[in-house]
Amino acid sequence: MGLWDKIKGEFIDIIDWTDSSNDTIIYKFPRYQNEIKMGAQLTVRESQVAVFMNEGKIADVFQPGMYTLSTQNMPILSTLKGWKFGFNSPFKADVFFVSTKQFTNQKWGTKNPIMLRDAEFGPVRLRAFGSYAFRVSDAALFLKEIAGTDSEFTVEEINEQLRNIAVSRGMDAVAESKIPVLDLASNYDEVSKFITDKIKPEFNEMGLNLTKFLIENVSLPPEVEAALDKRSSMGIIGNLGAYTQFQAANAMQDAANNPNGGMMGAGLGAGMGMGMMGQMGNAFQNNQFNGATGNNVPPPPPVVQYYIAVNGAQTGPFNMQQLQAMAASGQLTKQSVVWKQGMSGWLAADTQADLQALFNAVPPPPPIP
């Protein structure tokens, strides 16, 4: 190799970057000690921009396209270098390629449960997770604020910071939305948009654009979910009295089908059978009487039933006989909060006239010997 070939080899005349990775945001063109030849070919592909930096100062930014470098298309670098009247000799400058494609499927999630106040349940702890996508919108700003002079900057280097922003600001947005916990699942799209609007400005401050923010799941602690399952089960059962009769009928059938059940099983089955036959007989007699006479017998007076709040959960309904037994055992007190059909809200038991007699009938504690 001759001297001229050696000199020519020290000059860079082609500048480009073919990204073979999926997570590289910034790639510094490896110039090392070589100088860039004036008139060199710069190729900036789609989803890229090229940033020229001179002595730590950001100069020209090239959008996708093919360029022949000259003082005419590098006005800022020409000014920094002092090329007032043009300059055709090789020069030194740092060239950074910045990927502007979307970086998708970036995961976020709460490391620990977040405490929120819900209108229905009061203070609750929530966990949430999902994904988001972002891209570089301002390459010069991102270089200045985040990457600096890092020769190869990847998604992993900033992902932790972006996740923290997503979680902290996202949970704030969930609290501000005032959407009940039980309605969050049906409003993921609305909550996601609310969170996006909340955290987008912070991404913009770093030269990034948040293009997508998705919530995949919001969950309560296991013990709270178990309590909700029990509450749902009670709602499905509906009329507790009818459900008890259904269970009793099943038990009677099982006892009748079990020849080895013994006298206890037979007696239980017979007793339950007698009770159910008595109820059926009464219903038959009432129907027969009404049909024979043709008289319109008025319906019996409605049975008074109360619901009782126990540890924040609704129990009942209980009829007066059950309430009397509960008052005698101390399960129902004057301070117990109750509700029945027609009441506008929950009130203390001693405010209801039909319950006051129950407390008067409770005997005082026996004298101390």
pLDDT class of 7 with cuts at 50, 70, 90 = very low
Q: How many domains does the chain have?
A: 3
Q: Are residues 93 and 138 in the same domain?
A: no
173, 204, 220 — which closes off a domain? 220
* Predicted local confidence at residue 209, as pLDDT: 95
Distance CA 35, CA 330 (A): 93
Q: Are residues 114 and 200 in the same domain?
A: yes
* Predicted local confidence at residue 138, as pLDDT: 95
Q: Are residues 86 and 35 in the same domain?
A: yes
* Predicted local confidence at residue 260, as pLDDT: 60
Distance CA 47, CA 360 (A): 83
Q: Quick one: how far is CA 205 from the chain centroid?
A: 26
Predicted confidence (pLDDT) per residue in 122-144, tens digit? 788 888 889 999 999 999 999 99
pTM of the predicted structure, to 2 decimals: 0.58
Q: Are residues 19 and 67 in the same domain?
A: yes
Q: Are residues 109 and 165 in the same domain?
A: yes
More confident residue, 253 or 348: 348
Predicted confidence (pLDDT) per residue in 25-42, tens digit? 999 998 766 789 999 999
Q: Are residues 95 and 107 in the same domain?
A: no
Q: Are residues 76 and 20 in the same domain?
A: yes
Domain residues for the domain of 38 are: 3-99
Q: Are residues 33 and 113 in the same domain?
A: no
Distance CA 157, CA 103 (A): 13
205, 220, 235 — which closes off a domain? 220
Predicted confidence (pLDDT) per residue in 329-360, tens digit? 888 888 888 888 888 888 888 888 888 878 77
Predicted confidence (pLDDT) per residue in 299-314, tens digit? 776 778 888 888 878 8
Among residues of the chain, what percentage have pLDDT more than 90? 26
Assign residue 320 the CATH number of its domain. Answer: 3.30.1490.40
* Predicted local confidence at residue 264, as pLDDT: 47
State yes or no: pLDDT of 47 exceeds 90. Answer: yes
